[in-house]
Each structure stands twice: as structure tokens, then as C-alpha cells.
Structure 1
Amino acid sequence: MEEKNCLIVSEVRSFSRFYTKILGLLNQDILDSPYSLIEARILFEIGEIPNCTSNILVGKLNMDPGYISRILGRFNSDGLITKEKSSKDGRYTFISLTSRGKEILLSLSQKSNNQIIALTNPLTQSEREKLVESMKYIKNLLSPSSIDRSLKIRTYKLKDINYIIEKHKKLYKDEFGFSHEFADYVEKYLIQFHKSHDEDKENIWIAEINGKPSGVIAIAKADDSTAQLRWFLIEPEARYRRLGHTLLQTALDFSRKKNYNHIFLWTADVLKAARHLYKSYGFNLTESKNNTTWTDHLVKEERWDLYF
């Protein structure tokens, strides 16, 4: 290992050990409460996420569904949460904090705040300001968006229409054996979208890496409260960069901002990676039907739905 790499590895490890120790000190008081740090985090997320479900928590926190379920069971027994079936789709159960749950969360937050105040009280005002700026600097420097400075997500332009069509034609043919009829289907509705879409409630995003288009995703309006996720595609060489997560999160954030409370999409059972990604973000398989139009072999078209 080169000397410059040895130095940075040593310093990062040293900082990590130091920071882990600080976190341990900060967490002691919370751990003296009936709830662990991760339980406090889950309570916080339930309080922050509108129409929260267990699947949304699993996707956001990247945790085992069984573990989340056990924690939610404890919260329910302790009277911290309520569960209510969706009036639109009985398969979805929304989770919200009770008054007691809100009180517990407030208490845990106050304890955490008091710990931080106690830790930083010995510092001067100037030192506190420098500490905050240093934390922001490290966070920004090492965040995924900063590490991958070559990545840019932008709204599509007219020239991107042909890119989207051609990539759907090539990749779906090469990887899944889809026929030209699928590409014709994509072209028809994509051009229709471009000509008449609602710019306030609909959009297509292009991911660029080093200035080269590497992925696409779209949100199309079905009605005032429902959106359709469309034309989601990642170039093979860009998939290892978790670009799918970035684009999907972009589309979901836009949908929440535009007050959609329901998103659906159509995909095929052969798109294993995409199906896994949808499931991790809380989408549920709601419909399946045979399709022999787009391939010379049988595939199943699938509808996936997500309620906020």
C-alpha cells in the first residue's frame, strides 16, 4: 500500500474509533430508557412519514422485515402506535404514533439534545461554530453525491426522447428477448407524454455520468392523487453505482412533493433486480397477467402499487 494511502487509512480508522466512542457516550442515556437507539429511530420515522407502513420503514432503514415487525409489535403492546387499514386498499396498514408515542419520542429527543449540549458546553462559541462547520464539511465531502461528483440527475430534453426509445429497444431485446413491438409501445406513449404532459405534475429524469446519459425514470399523472412510474431503465455499466436507488428516490420525492398519495407501475416478472428494488421501497405486487405480445416466450406482466 502506498504511503499516502496508509496515512489516510490510519487517520480514518482513528477518527472512526474516536467517533464510535463519542456515540457510545451519547447513547448511554437513551439506552437507560426502555427503548434502544434503533427503536427511537423507528419512532422518529413513524412520526415523520405520512401514511407510514412497515414496508416503507424496511425500505428506508434497510432493515430485516421480521425485526421491524417485532419492534412494531412491542410498540403496539406499549400503546405507542396505532394501525389502521387503508380505506382504498385493505392490503395496506398505516402506522401512526399515539399521544403516548409522541410523548415518548419527545422525551427521547430531549434526552439526546441534553447529551449533546452537555458534551459541547465546555467549548467556546468559536469552537462550537468550528465544530459544526467541520461536521458539515466531512458530511458533504464524504456523502455519496460528493463522492460520485460525475453523477447528475436532470430533467429530460427533446434530444433525450430518442435515447430513451433506443435504449429500451436495445436493452430489453439483449437482456430479456423483447421484440420490436415493445419498443413501438414505448415510443408511442413516450411521444404522447412529451407532447401533452403536465409540467407541474409530471416529469422524466435523465441520469448522466461524466456527461453521458446512463439511466432514466418518469412520473406520469394518472389522476390528481395517483401517479404512474414509467420508463425506468439503468445502463448495465451504471448499475453497480446504486443509480437505480437514486433515480427511484428522485421520483418518489417528486411524487410526495406534488401531493400524490398512490403510485403504481407495470413491469415483468423477468426483471428480477427491478422487482427487488420496488419491494425494498414498499411497493406491493397487486396484479399479474400473461403476456405473449412482446416476446416469443411467456412472461408475466405485473402491477406494483405503493401508497404514501
Structure 2
Amino acid sequence: MNIGDFHRGRRLRRTAPLREMVRETELRPADLIQGYFVVDTPDAGFEKPIGSMPGQSQFSVERLVVRVGKAMDLGLRSAIVFGLPQKKDPAGTGAYADEGIVQRAVRRLKETYPELVVVTDVCLCEYTSHGHCGLLNDHGEVLNDPTLELLAKTALSHVRAGADIVAPSDMMDGRVGAIRVALDAAGFSHIPIMSYAVKYASAFYGPFREAADSAPAFGDRRGYQMDPANTREALREAAADFAEGADILMVKPAMPYLDILRLLRDNFDTPIAAYQVSGEYAMLKAAIANGWLDPKRAVLESLIGIKRAGADMIITYFAEEVLPWLK
């Protein structure tokens, strides 16, 4: 081979301006959705750090409003809210109560920051005394169809409170359709649904159980969340939710399922979301705390990888931390 006959890729990597000029994937503030945990408490100043998620806390409504305001000053555009009620019961009634914790938090956020895109997680697990995502029969099995009505009521209560997007995460069959029908019938046909379409039964949810106090009292959720070994099933689940009216399809978790994320990107024209879950966040934070990883480089690389695989938007607990780096 003669000198000059081979590809010289380094020509476009030589300087920072050249690298920026040919960069294929860009991470923007608008791509990031920060997750927040709000607690139903009479203590307006309540703020409790989450041990397994360094840098994250549970907030009262008042403290949440303050925290979100600071994040918006950094460029935050959207947030997803998870609620922790004072009381739980078998039917998860706190999930769809007009004065439930998420409903009150959404009202305050939208009153204070009307430009903020507020997404709400639609599920019953944080509100049921048994910790599962739906109603149970006498044998402790989750009942799919009777749960749909409660999920639709929950989504509708969130939208009436001011939510811009509802995101059902329960993995009940038919829940997107049930929610779409309920929203349309109530005059909210303009509200989009971000479906947790492809949600795996993952070990990476562990820290979230502490953050949201949502661990099952018995058993696990493998009977309704997806088997991590399956790929083709992801296409079936996504297609079903899309047919029922989902406007955004989500893959959860993100990093262990980048192949699935790319699969959805290649097969659906709808916007695709990915959820960098609590376990992914906790692992990176632990390695950073031990000095094993550079914080900025590692976190940005993890998010760029998710974006490159096909995500249009990313739910991540790193959003607040990352925003100053994107200016």
C-alpha cells in the first residue's frame, strides 16, 4: 500500500473545532427530563436525601417547587413527577384522588412555571399497600382488566391538575387505549401519552424502590414486566401501544437495552424515549465517588450513547447536573 492510499480518519479528529464540526449526535437541554420524588407531608420544608441515589432527595411540594426553579435557571425544560402518599390501600386510591400528592404538586408546578413540561408517572404501585401495579385477586395475582379503569382515572386526574404528558408505567395490557379513551371523552384529546411501552423486569430498579417506597410486599413484577432475554417481544409491545394511541414510546432501562432502543428507532416513526433508571445512576455515582470515573466525561458519554442509539428524549436523574455542561 502506498502512503496516502488508506483512509485518514484522524484528519477530522485533530482539533476540538474539527471534532465539533463533524459531530453526529448532540445532547441538548430539551432532550433531558429530570425525575423528582414528592412526598405528602405537612412539613413544608421537608427534604430527605435518598441514600442509594446520591444527589437526589424526596421533597415536600414547597421544596419541590424551589428545587425545580433552580433547575430551570440552569435550563431544565421538563420534569417527571413520582408521588409518595401518606396512606396506602389495596386499591391505590391515592393515585387518582383529586387532592393526591402528585395532583397537588402538578398544580403548584404549573401555576409557578407554566412553561415547564410536566410529565406524570401513571401507576398504582406507589399507592397500593401490597406494592403491585394493579388490583389483586384472592391468590395475589394482578388483575389486568379491572386495573385499567383505575389507571385511566389516575391519568385523567393528573391531566385535570395540569399535566402536559401522562406516562403509564404499569405494563398492563390495554392501558394506553383505556387512558386514550378516558382523556378524549373528557375533552383532553390534545394531551399526549408517553408509554412505558418496553419495560423490562430489571434489577436496575433497586434504588427507585427506596426513593418511591414502592417495593412489592411479596413476589415480584415479572408476571407483567418483560423478560430481559426477549427482543422480538419488544416490537410487539411497542406496536400494541402505538396502535392504542401512544404518542411517545419508551424503553426502560436504557443502558442495558440500547439494542432494543435502536430496534424501536428503526421500526417506528414516533418519538422514542429512554429511561436511564436509578440503578444506572447509582452505579455511575458510586464509581465517580470512588474516583474510578471522571464525572463529566462518564455521565455525558452515557447520555450520548443513549441518544446515539435512538432516543429523542431521556429521563435521567443526571439532568440537573448535566445542564451547566451543555451551555
- State the TM-score, normalizing by the size of structure 1: 0.25
Larger Rg: 1
Higher strand share: 1
- State the TM-score, normalizing by the size of structure 2: 0.24
